[in-house]
Structure 1
Amino acid sequence: MYQPEPQSMTFSTLISDIDKGIIKIPQFQRDFVWTINQSAKLIDSILKGYPIGTFILWESGEELRSIKNIGGAELPPTPIGSKAQYVLDGQQRMTSLYATLKGLLVQRETRKDNFAELYIDLEAEEDGQLVVTDIEDRNPKEVISLRDLLEGDISVLIEYPKSYHSKLTDYKNRMNTYRFSTILLRDATIDVATEVFTRLNVGGKSLTVFEIMVAKTYDASKNFDLSEKYDDLLTRLEQVEYETIPESTVLQVVSTILVKECTRQHILRLEKADFIDVWDEAVDAIERAIEYFRNYYRIPVSRLLPYNGLVVTFAYFFYHHKSKPTGYMRELLDDFFWRVSLSERYSSALETRLGQDIKRIDVILKGELPKYDLKLNVTKDLIINNGHFSVNRSFIKSILCLMAYHEPKSFSDNSVVRINNSFLKQANSKNYHHFFPKAYLQKQGEDMFYINHIVNITIVDDFLNKNIIRAKAPSEYMKDFVEQNSKLRETMKDHLIGDLNEFGVLKDDYETFFEKRAELIAEELNKWLITSKSNLVETM
């Protein structure tokens, strides 16, 4: 059990320890936001001997990512052989004291605050406001800056009238002898320290695992800054439209590679050296997994991916299998991908299920079929009963991925439809088109469940959707495309729509269209699944 140690320190010790790099402000602390007026009240309380709260410090030999600059003042690294003391509570007060004594000019978003402009009013009564910031109409010999009071030599002080000398001496003594209350938490683990931080900041935002790991894995000697590394990765992923992969997914990849689990506890327990050493290979595995999604499954953008968790399992696979899978191994991966997606497996208990599925990937890596605890029977009825169109559901995204795999073309000229991440945030995306337009079906009295259904969705370009088709009946707008597009039959196959007559399109027969397209979607999905009963009998 970690026992906190009550301690105290003087103003000079506090400032000296910051200057020497002993006391550090971890990067997960919020920005310094206190104003000069708040700092004035703080100094006023110190001069009057009031308690100002306790500084809580965590002493650790771990090198965390910490703030290196305050108002232009460079903060040095912790001396070799010394342990850093990281501020868990009291950062605003401590930074305010430091900025005031150093007279720092702190840049804000819309202004600059000059913390040198804090003055002690030598005319103020003891129960009045001793510290002021506005001295525009004051006699300069009636006020003294805090810096001059504490750091000025005798030549500065004798410039003031003798009537103030006793006050100057008294105020300087009060500042120098004030004991700042501190509690030192020695050698606690980073997860304990960050839990303390979170509980102390009850009204604030809890630290994410990523924020903690950014602090924990920072290593200046190896030029490793997780925050910068992640930004670099996102920059590369943005070039292939997979920039929505979150921080948590990247941490889960590293953790599963190292320990085959990825709960919060497992991630926080990862050794710093191991994390840094495996980073480049983990990133390479992520990029190869994404390349596989894009080129083999033809999922062009990350918003179509049923789950980010699939990046974790596939990156784990590619970390251990450097080449592209072929033959039966590829079929095993296909079965895994679509089984996870269609069963909505990662909609809850993600970390636990990723741990289970890493074991399944290990089986696939051996070229064997893993055991699954869910029987997945993809039928027309499954598509119909679960097909309400909501872009956040993995079942729907799975079918959208199937549509993307067939590389849908424009109805008008058979040109490629470009799918964009920015267009796919919601169900009314520019790329999503109700083949039987909603307005048309509503006029026919069709139930909204069947109107706004994945079976009625096609992926088209924005111009076609908004400017040509609009609310027209399919028989009306498709006749125009028959004349414009000599390859329309092939175009419709790419949209998983068969012969226009057989599918009831030219007769505006929505029931026939709905049934036949649901059947075709189920048929296409089953091509990706291994239907052997032998892999459906055990729970992992």
Structure 2
Amino acid sequence: MKIATILDQIDIGAMALPEFQRGYVWNRAQVKGLVQSLYRRYPVGGLLVWVTKTEGANVKGDNKLAPGSVELLLDGQQRITSLYGLIRGNPPKFFEGNKEAFTNLYFNLEEEEFEFYASLKMKGNPLWINVTELLQKGSGEFISKLATDPQFIPNLSKYINRLTAIDNIKNIDLHVEQVTGEDKTVDVVVDIFNRVNSGGTKLSKGDLALAKICAEWPDARDELKKRLNKWAVAGFYFRMDWLLRCVNTVTTGEALFSALDTKVDNISQVKDGLKNAENAIDNLLNLISARLGLDHDDVLSSRYSFPVLARFLFLKGGVLADYKERDKLLYWYIHTLLWGRYAGSTESVLNQDLALLNPLEGALDRLIEQLRKERRDLRLNSRDFITWSTSSRFYPLLYMMTRVWHAKDWGSGLEMSSHLLGNLNRLQVHHIFPKALLYKNGYSRAEVNTLANYTFLTQVSNLKISDRDPADYLPEIVNRHPGVLESCWIPMDKELWQVNRYRDFVSARRELLAKAANEFLDTLFNGYVPEMPVTISILDRVMPVVPGSVADDEEAKVLRECNEWVLSKQLSEGEIRYELVDPQTNQQLANLDIAWPRGLQEGLSEPVTLLIDEPNEVEEIANRFGYKFFTSVESFKEYVEQKILAVETIR
């Protein structure tokens, strides 16, 4: 079928993109390579389409489908989308991606080169031809202009042949292979898709499950997005796969998405499952925010405990028996957070824990006992607080203790509750011993950012203290607000407030933190923890800033901005504070500042991580596990633009 005819088929709705296909991910280098091959009449491969009835076909975009049957692109989306954008000047209706990849491609008649527009190189040079204009208008207009300029007459024949060769790209035939037959269900077709795309972007298990759901419920993806957007407005960011996993466990009691096939008879069960999962997650977010103080995305860890938590709450009819059951549930949740319960083989561990919910009587005791068997001891000790950075699993615990034990702000002397904070005054990380002072005295980055050197303050207090020496400012706080430092587990031996005694200070504070943490966890396990008054639902809150880190964490701000920059380029979202886990032992090996474990173009590019001021050990671990790592935002962006987006710069 001629390329021009294929594009016509898309316009009339006779060819479309199935819902389960991911968006457009090609970069400029790939588009340029395709056009160069077509120009030289090199083979570029055929298309694979699934011929299915228009009625019931689940496609991307809002284009109206042709009556009868439609051809859904299984293989060739990137090529056809690129050609559509080049020839039509705009992307097709099913387009999701970065149209800059095929916008402003030019051809040099003399050098026979394709390049994307660069003003310094091309402006005012008639030998550079806009490829889209040529494909839309035809070669005649360009030939006429050249024929009237004496300087081009000697090479006119050569230029005409080259212009015609580009214009005739529209008439190149591409082989179109069809997948037909009533036996070609969505399952079969997705399997075919994954096989022919073995070298490209494969569908995840969640993609496949969603594709099957969308075949019967076309609005499913939008309905899931509505819930994700609702939680995002409140400051909690979840992924589509995660929500679908919660729906799956609530509906089927199992973690594997295949259970949706074996245990679900009709789509109404999935719709009910989404409502039930949403209600459970709403309740859990309110419970964890109000009772534990984990009220924003930075400190909401152990996300994959939510499928188990949601299933348990669903089995309880959405209502916990009493405060003892509530607190025991939270006790289990915290320990999944501290020990990375779901950091490794998520599905197998989830299934193990979901099985412990039956029978419901005694389920929480069984879940806790399972953790105790694997950990042998659930009590914390001071060594557990040797961890450092806001990526530590114990970071949320420190935040939680600050909120639940009513720690007091050093500037105001008031409890750091939600009433004090409000929306515009979130808790900020404060280095008790300022970083500059410690670096000046020869302490390492790990020592400077150890968890025991962190406390949380309001923004006003944090800014007021700034980077003062604790030997100077801590005595002032003692005089102004007696008992405030003790509420934040600060060793009160003033000798330890000297910078030369820093190691002794953090050692003493670790002991205090471990003691307070165990007391806190004991109160949960035994059915009592100090109440935190509930005002409004956490989901009624609108976050005034983009979450992703504690507000004063400069490094996390850089990472957020970098992630936003990547998303603006229509590339995949990175995971901030990504836990790199040994696949054999499930042991946490390192925290990567921000990572793309499946590549910036998922499935098409290598794993990448940006590490800001990390020790060599982290870099070596990332490298060992196949990550290309960068140590500055500038070098990372240069890699993205030159290697991923293939944006050429003119110097």
TM-score (normalised: structure 2): 0.57
Equivalent of 1:239 in 226, 233, 236: 233
Matching residue of 2:396: 397
One-letter amino acid of the structure 2 residue matched with residue 516 of structure 1: L
User: Which residue of 1 is the match for residue 76 of structure 2?
Assistant: 90
Distance 1:11 1:504, change over 3 A: closer
Of residues 514, 519, 524, the one that matches 1:528 is: 524
Q: Which 10-residue stretch deviates more, 276-285 or 343-352? A: 276-285
User: What is the alpha-carbon distance in structure 2 between the residues aligned to residue 241 and residue 298 of structure 1?
Assistant: 14
Q: Does 1:314 align with 2:309?
A: yes
Cα displacement (A) at 1:189: 5.1
Give deviations 1:206-251, integer Å, cap 9, x for gaps. Answer: 44445445544336x966141x334322332133321x22222111
Extract unaligned runs of 5+ from structure 1.
1-8, 70-74, 122-130, 141-170, 425-429, 532-540
SS in 2 for 1:346: coil
TM-aligned CA deviation for residue 304 of structure 1: 0.5
Per the TM alignment, residue 375 of structure 1 is displaced from its structure 2 partner at its CA by: 4.4
Q: Distance in 2 between matches of 1:276 and 1:504?
A: 59
Summarize the Cα distance change of 1:335–1:446 in structure 2 as closer, same or farther, 3 Å threshold: same
**1:257 is matched with which residue?**
250
Give the alignment of 1:334-413 within 5 angstroms.
334-363=330-359, 369-370=365-366, 371-372=369-370, 373-379=373-379, 382-385=381-384, 387-413=386-412
Q: How far 1:276 sits from its partner (Å)?
A: 3.5
1:178-193 mapped onto 2 (5 Å cutoff): 180-184=175-179, 186=181, 187-188=183-184, 190=186, 193=189
SS at match of 2:386: coil
2:219 aligns with: 224
Counterpart-to-counterpart distance in 1, 2:261 and 2:495: 55
Aligned counterparts of 1:476 and 1:99: Cα–Cα separation in 2: 65
Distance 1:439 1:99, change over 3 A: closer
Is the Cα–Cα contact under 8 Å of residues 56 and 89 in structure 1 kept in the other structure?
A: yes
Q: 2:145 aligned to 137, 160, 184, which one?
A: 137
User: Does the CA contact (< 8 Å) of 1:257 and 1:316 recur in 2?
Assistant: yes
SS in 2 for 1:348: coil
| Residues 93-132 of structure 1 aligned to structure 2 (within 5 Å) | 93-94=79-80, 104-106=88-90, 108=99, 118=135
Gap change, CA 1:63 and 1:457, over 3 Å in 2: farther
Deviation, 1:448, is 6.8
Q: In structure 2, which of residues 11, 18, 28 is the aligned counterpart of residue 26 of structure 1?
A: 18
Shift of 1:256: 0.9
Query: Would you say 1:281 and 2:269 are equivalent positions?
Result: no
Check conservation: 2:248, 2:257, Cα contact below 8 A: no
CA-CA distance at 1:413 after TM superposition: 0.6
Which stretch shifts more, 360-369 or 303-312? Answer: 360-369
Q: Does structure 1 conserve the Cα–Cα contact (< 8 Å) formed by 2:206 and 2:241?
A: yes
What is the CA–CA distance in structure 2 between the aligned matches of 1:432 and 1:400, rounded to whole Å?
9
User: 1:308 Cα shift?
Assistant: 1.0
1:19-98 alignment to 2 at 5 Å?
21-27=13-19, 28-31=21-24, 53-59=45-51, 63=56, 65-68=58-61, 75-77=63-65, 79=67, 82=69, 84-94=70-80
Give per-residue Cα distances to partners, 1:371-401, cap 9 Å, x unaligned.
4132453556x33245312333434433433
| Amino acid of the structure 1 residue aligned with 2:289 | R
The answer to whether the 8 A contact 1:105-1:115 is kept is: yes
- Name the SS for the 1:527 alignment partner: helix
Aligned pairs (5 A) from 1:471-486: 471-473=468-470, 475-485=471-481
CA contact (8 A) 1:191 1:268 kept: no
SS state of the match for residue 118, structure 1?
Answer: helix
Does the 8 Å contact 1:387/1:396 carry over to 2? Answer: no
For residues 64-105 of structure 1, the C-alpha deviation after alignment (integer angstroms, 9 at most, x for no partner) is: 642336xxxxx323647x5x43211123554577789xx845
Separation in 1, partners of 2:34, 2:494: 78
Separation in 2 of the partners of 1:258 and 1:458?
41
Rg bigger for which structure? 1
Determine if contact 1:403/1:459 at 8 Å carries over to the other structure.
Answer: yes
2-structure distance, mates of 1:391, 1:185: 53
Measured after TM superposition, the shift of residue 443 of structure 1 is: 6.9
**Cα pair 2:435 2:448 within 8 Å, conserved:** yes
Tell me the CA shift for residue 297 of structure 1.
1.8
- Measure how far apart 1:519 and its partner are: 2.6
Equivalent in the alignment of 2:119:
none
Distance 2:356 2:282 in 1: 21
Query: What is the letter of the counterpart of residue 478 of structure 1?
Result: L
Secondary structure of the residue aligned to 1:322 is coil
Alpha-carbon separation, structure 2, partners of 1:111 and 1:421: 42
Structure 2: which 5+ runs fail to align?
92-98, 105-129, 149-166, 528-651
- AA partner of residue 237 (structure 1): W
Asked if structure 1 preserves the Cα contact closer than 8 Å seen for 2:428 and 2:456, the reply is yes
1:331-360 Cα distance to aligned partner (Å, 9 max, x none): 431332133223322221122111222233
Q: Structure 1 residue 405: deviation in Å?
A: 2.6
Query: Which of residues 436, 451, 455 is equivalent to 2:452?
Result: 455
Amino acid at match of 1:465: N
Q: CA 1:378/1:457 → structure 2, altered by over 3 Å: closer, same or farther? A: farther
Between the aligned partners of 2:489 and 2:204, the Cα distance in structure 1 is: 42
8 Å Cα contact 2:331-2:521 kept in structure 1: no
1:472 Cα shift?
0.9
Distance 1:207 1:504, change over 3 A: same
Q: How many residues align?
A: 457
Question: Which residue does 2:618 correspond to in 1?
Answer: none
Contact 1:66 1:215 (8 Å CA) reproduced = no
Query: Conserved in 2, the CA contact under 8 Å of 1:408 and 1:494?
Result: yes
Alpha-carbon distance between aligned partners in 1 of 2:37 and 2:443, rounded to the nearest angstrom: 68
Q: Deviations over 1:31-60 (max 9, x none)?
A: 397999999889878xx8x86532112345
2:478–2:485 Cα contact (<8 Å) kept = no
Aligned partners of 1:365, 1:421: CA distance in 2, in Å?
A: 40
Which whole-Å deviations, capped at 9, do the CAs of 1:397-431 have from their partners, x for residues lacking one? 3343333333443211134557899999xxxxx82
> In structure 1, what is the equivalent of residue 613 of structure 2?
none
Residue identity opposite 1:311 in structure 2:
F
Q: CA 1:180–1:111 in structure 2 vs 1: closer, same or farther (change >3 Å)? A: closer
TM-score (norm 1): 0.67
1:67 is paired with a residue whose SS is: coil
Deviation string for 1:455-491 (max 9, x for gaps)? 3321123443354152412x42122223433xx41x4
Deviation of 1:301 after TM superposition, in Å, equals 0.9
Query: Taking structure 1 as reference, are residues 214 and 422 closer, same or farther at Cα in structure 2, changes over 3 Å only?
Result: farther
The 3 A distance-change label for structure 1 pair 343 and 116 is: closer
- CA deviations on 1:162-207 (whole Å, 9 max, x unpaired) are xxxxxxxxx99x969x683414265445455445444544664444
Give the conservation status (yes or no) of the 8 Å contact 2:187–2:212: no
Task: Provide Cα deviations, 1:286-338, integer angstroms capped at 9, x if missing partner.
Answer: 21211111112221112212211122222222323312441442243133213
Measured in 2, the distance between the counterparts of 1:447 and 1:44 equals 58
> CA-atom RMSD, angstroms?
4.8
Distance 1:328 1:514, change over 3 A: closer
- Give the Cα–Cα distance (whole angstroms) in 1 for the partners of residues 48 and 339 of structure 2: 48
Is the partner of 1:53 in helix, strand or coil?
A: coil
Identical counterparts, % of pairs: 19
Contact (CA 8 Å) 1:253, 1:282: kept in 2 or not? yes
Q: Is the 8 A contact 1:496 1:517 kept in 2?
A: yes
